[in-house]
Amino acid sequence: MAQCQKTESAALKLKTVRKDAVPKGREGKHKRIVTLLLNRLSRLPSGSALKVPLDQLPDSKAKIRAALSRATRQSGVSVATSSDSTHLYLWKADRKP
């Protein structure tokens, strides 16, 4: 077993790159829908919510909510969500102190 690990690590070729050349983000498969929702949300009048049909989402409601949560956490935007059997609702939430 130790011989196998030594061979694998010897075969591994590593390179050094500058930190500024390292990608800072990723373009996940939900980037398009999340970007669309956040753009629409930014133009939404206060006291309003977006009503998104679940059958028009490219993935499950849970996966879109998770992607949206990651994006809003990174951007510092506070968003609340709710849903029923046919729609996902999004609105700008009040920031927590």
Domains with residue ranges and CATH for the chain: 30-97 (3.30.1370)
pLDDT of residue 11: 76
Q: Which of 1-10, 20-29, 51-60, 67-76 has the highest mean pLDDT?
A: 51-60
Q: At what angle do helices 31-42 and 61-75 cross, to 10 degrees?
A: 60
Which distant-in-sequence residues (6+ apart) come within 8 Å of 46 by Cβ? Answer: 92
pTM for the whole structure: 0.70
Q: Which two tokens stand for residue 51?
A: 């009503």
User: What is the tens place of the pLDDT at every residue in 33-61?
Assistant: 999 999 999 999 999 999 999 999 999 99
pLDDT of residue 12: 86
H or E segment and range at residue 64: helix 61-75
